[in-house]
Amino acid sequence: MTYLFNDPAQFADELAEGYAAAHRDKIRRVDGGVIRRHKAKPGQVVVIIGGGSGHYPAFGGFVGLGLAHGAALGNVFAAPSAQQICNVARAVDAGGGILFCYANYAGDVLNFTQAQERLRAQGIDVRSVVVTDDIASAPADERHKRRGIAGTLAVFKAAAFAADAGKPLDEVVRNATAANDRVHSLGVAFSGCTLPGAAKPLFEVDSGIMEIGMGIHGEPGLDRVKAPSADGLAEMLVGKLLAEIPETVNNLSGARIGVILNGLGAVKYEELFVVYRKIEQLLTAHGLAIVAPVVDEMITSFDMAGVSLTLFWLNDELEQSWLAAADTPAFHRGVITDAYCLIDNGIESKDTQKESSIKPGSAESQAAANIVLAALEAALDAIAAQQDELGRLDAIAGDGDHGIGMQRGLTAAVNAARTAISEQAGAGTTLITAGDAWSDRAGGTSGMLWGVILRNLGHAVGDETKPDAATIATGIAEALQAVIVAGKAQLNDKTLVDVLYPFSTALTKGATQGFSTPETWTAAAEVAKQSADATKNLTPKIGRARPHVDKSIGNPDPGAVSMALIIDATGKIIRRQCS
């Protein structure tokens, strides 16, 4: 149970503020995350990591000399937004290129990819290495689908070592990729974690039972077995990890490995040492040489009772990176002797973005902007009323934060729309501004995709005329295509696309037949509602629910349900104000 919090929606911001205040000698806060207090050498590559909050010391705890140059910090269990990532990247860019290094989760991939595209468009050379060390989340021949867990530390360290050594970006990428290819992890849990403000854990495990292969965001495990003794757990973890040895390791006997035994939050150090005792015996009995083991909390999940074991199969180059000195708030090794120690004493930034001036829309479009605001407010009320249920649906096969994430994003969208309208914005600009705020504040997959939806709709609506049914249908159709491109989901993948696609088709049909906007939207909203309910029969093919097919079938997709709720709430406003 997470006991200490104020407003759960502010938890991530407040923990980042306190964390930065506690470690002013090593880091400083910028809008979107934290960066090293010590600047990188001019012309060198910098490494940016990041992910959702709730995993300390990942990810902000790994910022400092010898490790990452900056970390983008998302909301609880939600990926940082593309804007947050760009803010952190610009704050540390030294002119030699940037490597993004992050764990393989849908929201992180979407937002880091979008940030990469934005920075490249500004002439900055940005590459990405995605960590895929969790052997439970996909078979070996689908390594690209695996999640990233505690093995992220080994990959981050390999990347940072090459960057701080002055290697060019190609070499930094190569070193990080080589580390990812040679790191494997497996985790278990004895209980789920409880998010700030939640009344119960995301999932529960019966006494005496253990889940194998759970995710760090609270995703339930893939198998449930009787909980073994400490020695029995060590034997299981070592056995499963030694069953998959990297192809580049030719001989098990004599191989050198880095080891991370990671506590997930509620399993404490004394217990970890009991387990590690047996792990060390088992690995050395196989002829393996353990190099600088780490027995600690490296990537947690609030109060989850669980552990993970990581084996990092070293070669000469990777062993150098693994043993290299580092000095961050959460990870210390050796003594930094040759760092470029120009201290950045810049004023801590809350906003690195320039304020944009809004061009007033036409009188008709300004009137439509007020309808947009009313629709967003109604959507916020609808989501707030169903927040717990959306969280429950998300926790069945995901991380349980969908309800609070949607409420957080919509709150930001409403506030941004109000500000835009106060500056005489038209409907298009109001939608775009609201979408950008939603994406930035909510983060994660849904935040990014709703930003895409509102931005595309806003571009279609514009600021000159009152949008009719045909214009709205065109905007939704364009939003659908942009969502498919960004999120890679197709119809029947069990995502919000399974609502957006038929909704768009129904809107286009109504507009083509000459129906009014209220008539067209009302008919399409009924299709959206039915489509959301029908997702309960679909098999998830993308996202965090994919490994949990059995749990997902019979329950609708939370993203589809929330989209149908928003469409319905918007329809009520349209019928009231557009008749």
pLDDT of residue 351: 42
**27/65 Cα distance (integer angstroms):** 10
522's enclosing H/E stretch is helix 517-534
Place of tokens 């309910």: 533
| Residue type for position 161 | F
- Greater confidence (404 vs 345) lies with 404
The closest alpha carbon to 409, from 429, 379, 365, 389, belongs to: 379
Helices (H), 349-496: 363-385, 387-397, 402-422, 427-442, 444-461, 469-487
Q: What is the pLDDT of residue 444?
A: 86
CB 422 within 8 A of CB 216: no
Q: Name the pLDDT band for 527 (thresholds 50, 70, 90).
A: very high
328/330 Cα distance (integer angstroms): 5
CB 32 within 8 A of CB 441: no
Residue 347 has pLDDT above 60, yes or no: no
Question: pLDDT tens digits for 205-244?
Answer: 888 999 898 878 766 667 889 999 999 999 999 999 999 9
Please classify residue 77 by burial: count the beta carbons closer than 10 Å to its beta carbon, then call 0-12 exposed, 13-18 middle and 19+ buried. buried
Domains of the chain: 8-333 (3.40.50.10440), 363-577 (1.25.40.340)
Query: How much is the average pLDDT of 489-494?
Result: 91
pLDDT in tens, 420-429: 999 999 999 9
Write the pLDDT tens digit of every residue in 305-319. 999 999 999 999 999
pLDDT at 345 over 50: yes
- Residue 142's CB: how many other CB atoms inside 10 A? 10
What is the reported pTM? Answer: 0.88
Residue 556 phi, psi dihedral angles, 5° rounding: -70, 160
**Percentage of the chain modeled with pLDDT above 70:** 93
What DSSP string runs through 235-267? HHHHHHHHTS--TT---STT-EEEEEEEE-BSS
Catalytic member of 23, 38, 184, 217: 217
Based on the residue annotation, tell me whether 217 is a catalytic residue of this protein.
yes
Q: Is the pLDDT of residue 544 over 60?
A: no
Q: Confidence class of residue 329 from pLDDT cuts 50, 70 and 90?
A: very high
pLDDT for position 354: 46
What is the identity of the amino acid at 459? H
